[in-house]
Chains A and B, each alone.
Chain A
Amino acid sequence: MRIVDRLSRAPWIWSWFAAFLVWFATIMVTGGASTLGLSQAALTFAAFSIIVGIGQMFVITLGPGNIDLSIPATMTLAGTVALKLMDVDNAMILPGLVTAILIGIGVGIANYALIKALRIPPIIATLSMSFIVQSAAIWTNRGLRIKPPSFLADFTTSTALGVPNVSLVALVISLIAWFLLEKTVYGRWISAIGQSMPAARMAGVPVDGTRFVTYVLSAVLASLAGYLLACFSGGAALNMGTEYLLMSIAVVVLGGTAVAGGDSNVPGIWGASLFMFLVVSMLNTYGLGAGIRLIMTGLIIISVIMLAGGRRPGVR
């Protein structure tokens, strides 16, 4: 009983529970015929939300007002530039990856420079930055759709032992993120800043350095997700990042990370990302139209947050 009790207090358990419920409801309808296919698709598509969600989670943990709105634009720019550079050449995969990461670092630095130097609230700073980054993507892309190198295209769309490769990448990133958060001083610093910035500063936490690294990390993860997504979908599109703006925020919050900051968890991101994809595919399986599907998605998000939010009113 003690294990059940402890599990039910874990903030991430609810998103896993909801994801499982939806998964079960979907395969019941199809009579279990599509179990493997559905699970693989869910893991694949959730992988992208997981990668950007982890970056967003680090930023949100920094405390109220911290949010990264430049994620979609960074994804688009990194995807377009990397594919253009690689130009269907397998030998250029590594330079392409490095370029994507450099773009992420650049955007992250610019984001934090705006926040710090101009004292702009992070929402507005990353929003203005995303306009500029999006313009840069439009300028480099020019409506061209360059195919990814064949090796990358195969890698992102195939599976290893039945598990999609991209979800393995997401798993590695999640493990690193979990280690950073739980086992390193840096992770403690983020939580400390999120709980109270003045207190963290008094305690000698390098507040500026930590925030700077966090914004860079978020942008790098976004650029990595953009790189993988562009290869997965057979080319970069200018709108490929759009849905990840709301998605990255939704998975963080549904995963049980405190919106007020200072309290984050990685497993919840996985549950919430799988849940978000499975809800859409469940409603698709039931044959509902786009309108009804959107309404249901919204209502489910609200009911999940009401259930999870009301459960621990006193516990911070």
Chain B
Amino acid sequence: MKLTPSADAIRLAIPALSLAVLLAAVFWLQPRAMSYIGLNLLFNLAVPIALATIAQMLIMSVNDLDLAMGTFVSFVACVAATFLRDEPLVGILILAGGVCIYAVLGVVIHLRGLPSIVVSLGMSFVWAGLAVLLLPAPGGQAPEWVRSLMTMKPPVAPMAIVASVVIAVVAHLIVMRSSLGVLIRGIGGNQRSVERAGWSVLAARAAAYGLAGVFAVLAGIALVGLTTSADANIALRYTLLSIAGVILGGGEFIGGRVSPIGAVIGALTLTLAGSFLSFLRISPDWQIGAQGAILIIVLALRLLLNRLENREKRR
């Protein structure tokens, strides 16, 4: 064989294939979805999930896990629907503070050698509390500019698709092409060798956490742009969704092996799975269960393709 695709490309092929199969299934069930409006409706909610998935991916690339992602995105949504609209300056300051706290968490976790799972578990209570203080009852209103940005109708492809592509490209440039991204993934791969090479692991980990905070803030703002109002519990599902999205996209929990493009595809697949199920007219009782089943099937597919690929190699 002359054309041997790189390992990264193969890592990406499986998530892309699952998304294509699922999309084909949706089109087959509901041909009307194959239009500008149809696609926009299908993928609308994928934009905030994709951003949260990228944030989770950044944390996973330094071998950590963020269990506070859902509550932080909810908190950001609450800030965006209240302060960011009424007093933009205060709102921006609060959100910048949130990003700073994320970076500080990275520093603390590194310095004290704490388990990220527990620290983020504790933080999830803090963000939930702050969100409840801001919006005790569902309410607030999205800032005009966010609303118009999220409902924009660009030519050729719907906003949801355009935004997903932009997110994937930007994240790819940061994580795979920049030297900071290499450093961050290096910590996940072998922290000691990065240290020996003279880099500051502390700074890189803080940067990874800070960047994750930035993407999570964008996720919260994008979510409010779509839903127009916020609630303290609006994005609690995002913690598990974002982890599942990274894994579906070919990422791994340890070793700094992540793929930003894969993560966005994973988020799109998860969103599409929901629409697919409603097109199938499955009883609402089993909707969640079927979502679990789809997750299992996609991962089984990934195993199968990995096996085939290994057999090819051995030949």
Contact = CB atoms under 8 A, between A and B. Distances in A.
Contacts of B9: none
Chain A interface, >50% SS class: helix
Interface in A12-55: none
A302 B244 contact: no
B289 A293 contact: no
Chain B, interface SS category? helix
A15 to B, nearest CB: 13
A135 interface: yes
A303 to B, nearest CB: 8
Interface in B240-288: 240, 243-244, 247, 252-254, 283, 285-288
Contacts, number: 142
B75 to A, nearest CB: 11
A3 interface: no
A65 B254 contact: yes
Interface residues of B, number: 45
Contact of A135 (B240, B244, B252, B290): B290
A118 B117 contact: no
A131 B288 CA distance: 5
Nearest to A293: B129
A119 B126 contact: no
A128 B292 contact: yes
A295 B254 contact: no
A198 interface: no
B121 A131 contact: no
Contact of A309 (B114, B285, B292): B114
B132 interface: yes
A233 interface: no
A294 B296 contact: no
A292 B115 contact: no
A123 interface: yes
Contact of B132 (A250, A294, A300): A294
Interface of B: 67, 108, 112-115, 117-119, 121-133, 136, 240, 243-244, 247, 252-254, 283, 285-293, 295-296, 299-300, 303
24 contacts: A64-B253, A114-B296, A118-B303, A121-B253, A123-B243, A124-B295, A128-B292, A131-B288, A132-B289, A134-B289, A135-B289, A136-B289, A246-B124, A260-B115, A289-B132, A289-B133, A290-B129, A292-B129, A294-B129, A298-B122, A300-B122, A301-B122, A305-B114, A305-B119
Given A294-B129, A295-B126, 9 more contacts: A121-B247, A125-B296, A128-B296, A131-B289, A135-B289, A296-B129, A298-B124, A301-B125, A306-B108
